[in-house]
Amino acid sequence: MEDTELINEFINFISVERGLSRNTQVSYRIDLKGYEAFLKKRGLGFKGAGQEDVTEFLRAMQSGGSLTSTLARKLVAVKMLHRFLTNEGYADKDPTAFLDPPRKEMRLPSVLRKDEVEAILGKPDLSKPAGLRDKALLELLYATGMRVSEAADLRVEDLNLAGGFIRCFGKGGKERIIPVGGKAVEAVEAYLSVQCPVSSVQPKKNPKPETRNPPAFAGKQEGGLALCGPKQNYLFINPRGSRFSRQGLWGIVKNYVKKAGITKKVTPHTFRHSFATHLLQGGADLRSVQEMLGHADISTTQLYLHLDRQTVQDAYKKFHPRA
């Protein structure tokens, strides 16, 4: 079997057997195609690769400017591939069995100040349907700390606006329930008033993923915004009536960041970082923030404590007369 076919088999395995997210599958496929190309230049395939070849691949990626976090992800993809090939009988040995991932450096995430968040949230034009959609998106991202990809996958029946929470599916399809504040609820209700009939707003209590049924009404266009249709029960839909991609939603956010006059670097995760940081600054406990973010390991959430301490240190250095 050719290496390209082995990659397809592996991606199918992590999708069906491991339940890894669509984004992870895409990332791993890109990483493994790069690994395949590297080995091909050395006259090798996956089955003939040794530990030295894997090490040289990572060294080449590092020389090309890859960050430590990127190298760690590439190695995870390569290790999982070789373990799969060995377990399935495609290869006799696993050359990555004794390789440890590179230690990640701790990088403090970029966050927005509260006044910067307010500036962004105030930019959508609420006289237009698209503005109502964008306002709902921005409010939800800041109110829940959802990843942009999770917002793209959000469906109307995942909302319980009366109860003040939403159901979200994170990495690996893991489900979590997140509280939603009043401002975000108002923004979503305003958006749904033009995007969907009111009857679709109230979902069943904790519906199972397989019971998600699309609204039974015809779709149409109004003011450049596609309304719900038989196959369109995603919350955020583009003018063509299809689910927004992660990149499409991020483009909306980036547009309002620019309109707000914010020049600092803002990434798709900045709203998520700001959500967590502002909660901790307000006195929220770490475990609650971990649960809302969907972090499997609390050490990931603890990074925001370091960020908060950095804010305190900066204030001390700025205002203390003998700092």
Q: Which of 28, 35, 142, 304 is catalytic?
A: 304
Please say if 73 is a catalytic residue.
no
Is 147 annotated in the active site?
yes
Strands 175-179 and 221-222: unpaired
Handedness of CA 43, 96, 27, 213 (dihedral sign): positive
Catalytic-labelled residue, pool 171, 176, 212, 246: 171
Q: Determine whether 82 is an active site residue.
A: no
Exactly one of 74, 79, 147, 278 is catalytic; name it.
147
* 155 catalytically annotated: no
Out of 123, 128, 212, 269, which one is annotated catalytic? 269
* DSSP output for 279-315: HHHTT--HHHHHHHHT-SSHHHHHHHHHHHHHHHHHH
Is 256 one of the annotated active-site residues of the chain? no
Q: How far, rounded to the nearest angstrom, does the alpha carbon of residue 145 sit from its chain's CA centroid?
A: 10
Q: Catalytic pick from 133, 272, 273, 278?
A: 272
Q: Residues near 226 by Cβ (< 8 Å), separated by ≥ 6?
A: 219, 220, 232, 237, 238, 239, 240, 241, 242
Please report which residue ranges of the chain form alpha helices under DSSP H: 3-16, 22-41, 51-63, 68-87, 114-121, 129-144, 148-153, 182-195, 246-259, 270-281, 286-293, 298-319
Judge whether 306 counts as a catalytic residue.
Answer: no
Q: Which residue is catalytic, options 82, 135, 273, 295?
A: 295
CB 247 within 8 A of CB 207: no
Which positions are annotated as active-site residues?
Answer: 147, 171, 269, 272, 295, 304
